[in-house]
Amino acid sequence: MAWRASVLTIFPDMFPGPLGLSLAGKALSAGIWALDTTDIRQHATDKHRSVDDTPAGGGPGMVMRPDVLARAIDSIAGDRPRLLMSPRGRPLTQARVEALAGKDGVIIVCGRFEGVDERVILARDLEEISVGDYVLSGGEIAAMTLIDACVRLLPGVMGKEASGVEESFAAGLLEYPQYTRPAVWEGQKIPDVLISGDHAKVAGFRRAEAERLTRERRPDLWARRTDRSRESGEP
Ligand code: SAH
């Protein structure tokens, strides 16, 4: 059965959007993954089809109603992780993406306005996931980010199976610098080692560069990585 993303949103027309093109789009047409959207507004009951109301306790903006959202969630079949895109969530990592890609799929709730009523998060056991420490105007682009990251890992999506293995984060490191033709461009040469044909030297160069970039740019990743090597008894 294809990996399935079920997205709950008040803007179903945003999908598949960019997920309908390129790698993800081809895989969608090929049936490697499937996408369905649920219009949360269809589950409203009043004549204005309202999905939001003013925040209890006052303050700006509107909050998504728990009853309408719960009805929308309950209309989705299948036992998959239920995620809520949220800046308060646990930051999305490649490890979590790999875990999600390895299951049957995901159910994703996209927030809008000031967010969703806390009670529905508890009652429907929604796992809050963030795509970074900044605030978007809605969960849809965050959901697309998560889906895109998962879909490219599904078997048969990326041209070469290996291209996912050596990437940034796969080994707890950022990726080494990449080069392609022309051999000299604006006076800059491709490093000699990469055209030496010596595979061991190429691997050594890439490893050293990946470590250097990670140390320089992401001391947080570097610290976690060395912690892990210590635990597993690696040098
Ligand atoms: N008032 C909220 C922000 C609401 S933004 C707060 O301060 O936490 C509206 C919606 O956009 C959120 O409900 C969420 O679904 C989505 N969103 C915004 N930023 C996000 C992020 N960094 N990661 C994931 N979803 C995000």
Which residue, 214, 8, 210, 219, is CA-closest to 108? 8
Bond into 16 cis (ω within 30): yes
What does the mean pLDDT of the chain come to?
95
Query: Of 39-43, 92-96, 224-228, which gets the smallest average pLDDT?
Result: 224-228
Residue-level pLDDT at 226: 76
Characterize 183-198 residue by residue with b for buried, 16 or more Cβ atoms within 10 angstroms of its Cβ, and e for exposed: eeeeeeeeeeebeeee
Specify the pLDDT at position 43: 98
235 pLDDT higher than 90: no
What whole-number percentage of the chain has pLDDT above 90? 90
Q: What is the mean pLDDT of residues 173-190?
A: 98
Q: Band the pLDDT of 67: cuts 50, 70, 90.
A: very high
Cis ω before 12 (30° cut-off from 0): no
Query: Nearest C-alpha to atom 18 of ligand 1 is from which residue?
Result: 136
pLDDT value, residue 228: 63
232 — pLDDT class (breaks 50, 70, 90): low
User: Is residue 85 lining ligand 1, measured as CB closer than 6 Å?
Assistant: yes
Q: From the centroid of its chain, how far is CA 124?
A: 21
Q: What is the pTM of this model?
A: 0.95
pLDDT digits (tens, 9 = 90+) for 140-166: 999 999 999 999 999 999 976 556 677
- The 10s digit of each residue's pLDDT in 105-147 is 999 999 999 999 999 999 999 999 999 999 999 999 999 999 9
Of the candidates 92, 86, 48, 43, which has an alpha carbon nearest to the alpha carbon of residue 68? Answer: 43
Mean pLDDT of 209-224: 97
| pLDDT for the residue numbered 212 | 98
Residue 55 CB less than 6 A away from ligand 1:
no
83 close to 107: Cβ distance less than 8 angstroms: yes
What residues form DSSP beta bridges with 27?
A: none
pLDDT at residue 229 is higher than 80: no
Give the pLDDT score at 206.
Answer: 98
Do strands 63-64 and 52-53 pair parallel, antiparallel, or not at all (unpaired)?
A: antiparallel
- For 54, the token pair is 């003013």
Residue nearest (by alpha carbon) to ligand 1 atom 16: 139
The per-residue pLDDT for 225 is 87
- At residue 159, the pLDDT reads 78
pLDDT tier for residue 167 given thresholds of 50, 70 and 90: confident
Choosing from 8, 54, 106, 136 the residue with most ligand 1 atoms within 8 A of its CB, the one to mutate for a pocket test is 136
**Using CA positions, which residue lies closest to atom 21 of ligand 1?**
87
Instruction: Establish whether residue 141 lines the binding site of ligand 1, counting it when its CB lies within 6 angstroms of any ligand atom.
Output: no
Q: Which amino acid is at 53?
A: D
Q: Whose CA is nearest to atom 20 of ligand 1?
A: 87
Distances (CA, A) of 57 to 60, 62, 116, 123: 10, 12, 15, 21
Rg (CA), the chain: 22
Question: What confidence category does residue 202 fall into, taking pLDDT thresholds of 50, 70 and 90?
Answer: very high
Q: Are 85 and 139 in contact (CB under 8 A)?
A: yes
Helix (H) or strand (E) holding 88: strand 82-91
